[in-house]
Homo-oligomer: A and B are copies of this chain.
Amino acid sequence: MNPLLIESVRTENPLVHNMTNQVVANDVANTLLAIGASPIMAYAKEEVEDIVQVSKALVLNIGTITREVAESMKVAGKKANELGIPVVLDPVGVGATSFRQQIVKELFDDIQFTLIRGNSAEIARLAGVEWEARGVDAKEGTASREEMAQALAKEKECIVAISGKEDVISDGVQTVKVTNGHELLGRITGSGCMLSSVCGAFIGVNPTEAFQAVVTAHTAFAVSGEQAGKSSQVKGPGTFKPVFHDALAQVTAEDLSKEAKEETIEHE
């Protein structure tokens, strides 16, 4: 984790092109603004190339995917690859339907991702491991999340991040666990989607340190969640969300240094 990376997000104010789902679009935009980035949402195939080429990162989220938007995603992703702009995939609920699996397969065929970020069930599905899910929410599983992340990272030649009580981040060679966070992050919709876009912002301005950018993004997000959880304004999931956005706007590099709970996992 490199706490200074949050400074570069705030200084450079990166434009992040989000092709995200209808449920979370507003929260994703406000999360990016809070952390110091600049959100843009655009879906029309006629314009996604224009948008992506002025962006620092592209985030593809299949939460309410349709065939039409999937085709736009391919256009945007290919353009991003061509220009060396990092692309993040959030495979929301990929295990839920064969349609989502088909879409993700096509995206993998066409696009080289910098990061795949999902919950345990989603990453398990992509890694070909059994895992229980309920709709878009992960349940229990027995495989090692560290091994799953590492294996998928190797296979897809990118960073893989699994969110949960403990976040696991691997690029196939190194694997780091971030154990910060707050229970209420799991009680609001779209916290994973927001995190994916925050990762996009961090990678976007720190492309040569992408792995550290992803670890730092997870730390910043989770430490902000902890800070929000301590606020006397928070009485439940409803009041948590606005206070969490405040915390994202206020968290400092120093906070990250002080609060980060990080563990590097040795692979055998």
Contact = CB atoms under 8 A, between A and B. Distances in A.
Interface of A: 13, 15, 17, 21-27, 29-30, 33-34, 38-44, 46-47, 50-51, 54-55, 63-67, 93, 96-100, 134-137, 187-190, 231, 233, 235-239, 241-250
23 contacts: A13-B134, A15-B134, A22-B41, A26-B27, A26-B190, A33-B189, A38-B135, A38-B136, A38-B137, A40-B93, A42-B96, A43-B64, A46-B67, A47-B97, A51-B96, A51-B97, A51-B135, A187-B249, A233-B239, A236-B247, A238-B242, A239-B242, A239-B243
Contact of A99 (B47, B236, B242): B47
Contacts of A189: 26, 29-30, 33, 39
Given A246-B238, A249-B237, A249-B238, A46 B134 contact: no
List the 5 shortest-distance A-B pairs measured between CB atoms, nearest first: A238-B245, A236-B246, A238-B242, A47-B99, A29-B189
Contact of A136 (B40, B65, B242): B40
B190 A29 contact: yes
Nearest to A44: B66
Contact of A237 (B30, B136, B238): B30
A103 to B, nearest CB: 9
Nearest to A63: B41
Given A17-B135, A30-B237, A239-B246, 18 more contacts: A23-B41, A26-B190, A29-B189, A30-B188, A33-B189, A39-B135, A40-B135, A41-B64, A42-B64, A44-B67, A44-B99, A46-B97, A47-B100, A235-B250, A236-B245, A236-B247, A237-B249, A238-B243
B245 A135 contact: no
Identical copies in the complex: 3
B66 A43 contact: yes
A34 B135 contact: no
Residue of A17, A23, A136, A190 ringed by the most chain B CB atoms within 10 A: A23
Given A65-B44, A189-B29, A242-B239, A96 B23 contact: no
